[in-house]
Amino acid sequence: MVVIQDCRGRYDSEGGFTKYTDEGKDGYDFLAWIGKQSWSNGHVGSYGLSYAAHTQAAMASLEPPNLRCMWLDCGGFRCFSFWL
């Protein structure tokens, strides 16, 4: 099963988009929702390239209990200090 989440305020998602502000919490909530679905075994893996790698890292920092693995590609590090 593959489930895709748009960032808040992007594409078909509601709300306003502000880069890096809500992705961690939204991702955590999304994983919790997936874990409660009848078609889910509760274990979730994530993947992402570039900005989607950053959003995964933000989500993972909140330690979602049903996250089992991640694949991150081309997500830079030290973004905060780099852009200052």
Q: What is the pLDDT of residue 81?
A: 63
Buried b / exposed e across 15-35, counting CB within 10 Å, b at 16+? eeeeeeebbbebbbebbeebb
Taking only the tens of pLDDT, the chain with its 84 residues reads 778 777 787 888 888 877 878 888 999 999 999 999 999 998 999 888 888 888 888 899 999 999 999 888 875 666 566 555
Q: What is the pLDDT of residue 52?
A: 83
Q: Is 72 a domain residue?
A: yes
Is residue 47 within 8 Å of 63, Cβ to Cβ? no
**Could you give the CA distance from residue 39 to residue 43 in angstroms, rounded to a whole number?**
11
Q: Is 9 a domain residue?
A: no
CA pseudo-torsion sign 48, 46, 7, 64: negative
Q: What is the pLDDT of residue 53?
A: 85
Q: What is the pLDDT of residue 68?
A: 93
pTM of the entire predicted model: 0.78
Range of the domain at 78: 23-83
Q: Is 18 a domain residue?
A: no
